[in-house]
Amino acid sequence: MRRKKNIHTGSSLADFLEAEGLEAQVSVRATKRTFIHQLEKRMVKAKANKSKLRKALGSPTTTTRVFDEDYTALSLDTMSRAASAVGCELKIALVPLKARR
């Protein structure tokens, strides 16, 4: 017995985001959220708080921006200093689009 094709299915979310030109924006926000999550986990392991990061970053405003998911314009220098403050190094990689899907 053959299954009927579900007529209620459409394109994927990735296809929709690409068609609307939102794929890059969503990817950047997801990357920032991942960075924040990893930084917070490392802060717990290193028994560090935001005051320690504030000293490493040099500014309360910069520290706030590091943890702001909507602020995606952080410099690599700022991200690297935040990583160093919790005993880590920042690594950046290029991932081919076909490999991600």
> Is residue 57 a part of any domain in this protein?
yes
pTM of the model: 0.77
Residue 43: domain span: 16-100
Domain count, the chain: 1
Residue 52 belongs to a domain? yes
Residue at 11 is within a domain: no
54 domain residue, yes or no: yes
In a domain, 88, yes or no: yes
Assess if residue 24 is contained within a domain: yes
Question: Which residues of the chain are under the pLDDT cut of 70?
Answer: 1-2, 6, 8, 99-101
The H or E element spanning position 85 is: helix 76-85
C-alpha distance from residue 42 to each of 2, 53, 66 (Å): 52, 12, 14
7: in domain: no
